[in-house]
Amino acid sequence: MSRTLQAPVTVSFDYTRSVGPVLGRFLTGLREGRLVAARTSDGRVVIPPPEFDPVTHLETEDFVEVSPTGTVASWTWVPEPVKDQPFDRPFAFVLVTLDGADVPILHALDVASPDDVSTGMLVRVRWAAERTGVITDIACFEPVGGPDEVETSAGAPSSTNEGEPVTGIITPVSLDYLYAASPEESAFYRGLLEGRILGQRCPTCHKVYVPPRSACPVDGVATTDEVELADRGTVTTFCIVNVPFLGQKIKPPYVSAYVLLDGADIAFLHLILDVPAEEVHMGMRVKAVWKPREEWGTTIENISHFSPTGEPDADYETYRNHL
């Protein structure tokens, strides 16, 4: 059996932002099949348009439309696309100077191999079939075969979408990584699989850490002694969650609290249930409520939540240094 545990982890959320009048004009144009740029005080045409003039620092007010055709100014080949990139097959990222613009725009170019892309080649916008006012309304760029094709591509398909100007966008954000636990953490997670809570003790200051740490943050020495702790403790501080959010498993209000297990010197975060949220308080004695054994794995979620024990509150002096 491997000494350490590891598991894939995904952290994801939807990032919602307002775009303001300048980027809103650009995104509204994309939804309608138009490429909106801005002319700055030095005469350059820039796309996407900047919110403020880079020279005068005044708000951008001079907007122009540019052509959906242009020239590759620079490029790089992507032989192994990753999740959420424009294509699931090899492609190129290109900087394209659109006809009528002075500053290139970055996007994907759909070609089969790096032999099919070169600096100076002519390309045109390929519009997405459905457009909502985001940068991916430009599905990608594609090569232009010759002068006749350039002329016909100037009439790029316009959208029938109509509506209010774009004022905000939602951008999914996701991070995938492989979490590798330390030997001490691995022992902690394996202990949970057996219904045990294991910590580590510093040989110098004798503080007990749970979840365990490889080294004591006070003395900087390795934590060499394994300690099994009781599954009950004291609420040191807490937060009542009233606001719903995406992926929430419990209906608000509920309490997230730091619980100082008996024998430990550091509190850890978990849920407090089986009691009205307004009755949870510092010093409350609580005990772990374990899920059915057949649901156990190597995670802290083996403990469903903590519940009041009914014991008298702990004396403040017993947890005052662990808030």
> pLDDT per residue over 64-82, tens digit each?
999 999 999 999 999 999 8
Collapsed DSSP state (helix, strand, coil) of residue 271: strand
Quote the distance between the C-alpha of residue 1 and its chain's center: 33
Least confident of 120-129, 206-215, 282-291: 206-215
Compute the average pLDDT of residues 283-311. Answer: 97
The widest CA-to-CA distance across the chain, in whole angstroms, is 86
Please report, rounded to a whole number, the percentage of residues in the chain having pLDDT higher than 90.
81
The 10s digit of each residue's pLDDT in 10-23 is 888 889 999 999 99
**Is residue 151's pLDDT more than 60?**
no
Query: Which residues 6+ apart lie within 8 Å of 254 measured at CB?
Result: 240, 241, 271, 272, 273, 277
Q: Choose among 188, 205, 204, 208: nearest CA to 196.
A: 188
Q: How confident is the model at residue 83 (pLDDT cuts 50, 70, 90)?
A: confident
This prediction has a pTM of 0.67
Asked whether residue 106 is domain-assigned, the answer is yes
pLDDT at 13: 85
Residues 114 and 245 grouped into a single domain: no
**Is residue 147's pLDDT more than 70?**
no
List the domain range (segments joined by +) for residue 283. 181-322
Residues 166 and 65 grouped into a single domain: yes
pLDDT at 161: 53
pLDDT at 152: 42
pLDDT at 163: 76
Number of domains in the chain: 2
Residues 165 and 27 grouped into a single domain: yes
**Is residue 110's pLDDT more than 90?**
yes
Determine the Cα–Cα distance for residues 191 and 173; give it in Å rounded to an integer.
Answer: 34
Residues 133 and 241 grouped into a single domain: no
Residues 168 and 185 grouped into a single domain: no
Asked whether residue 2 is domain-assigned, the answer is no
Question: How is 277-311 classified by DSSP, letter by letter?
Answer: GGG--TT-EEEEEEPPGGG--SSGGGEEEEEE--P
pLDDT at 97: 98
Domain boundary at 122, 155, 172, which? Answer: 172
**Is residue 263's pLDDT more than 90?**
yes
Residues 279 and 304 grouped into a single domain: yes
Residues 31 and 74 grouped into a single domain: yes
Asked whether residue 64 is domain-assigned, the answer is yes
Residues 55 and 103 grouped into a single domain: yes
Residues 150 and 186 grouped into a single domain: no
Please report, rounded to a whole number, the percentage of residues in the chain having pLDDT higher than 70.
94
Residues 147 and 185 grouped into a single domain: no
Question: How is 179-234 classified by DSSP, letter by letter?
Answer: EE--HHHHHHHHHHHTT-EEEEE-TTT--EESS--SB-TTT--B--EEEEE-SEEE
Residues 231 and 316 grouped into a single domain: yes
Domain boundary at 120, 153, 172, which? Answer: 172
DSSP state, residue 314: P
Compute the average pLDDT of residues 91-96. Answer: 98
Residues 23 and 157 grouped into a single domain: yes
Q: Choose among 208, 257, 258: nearest CA to 229.
A: 208
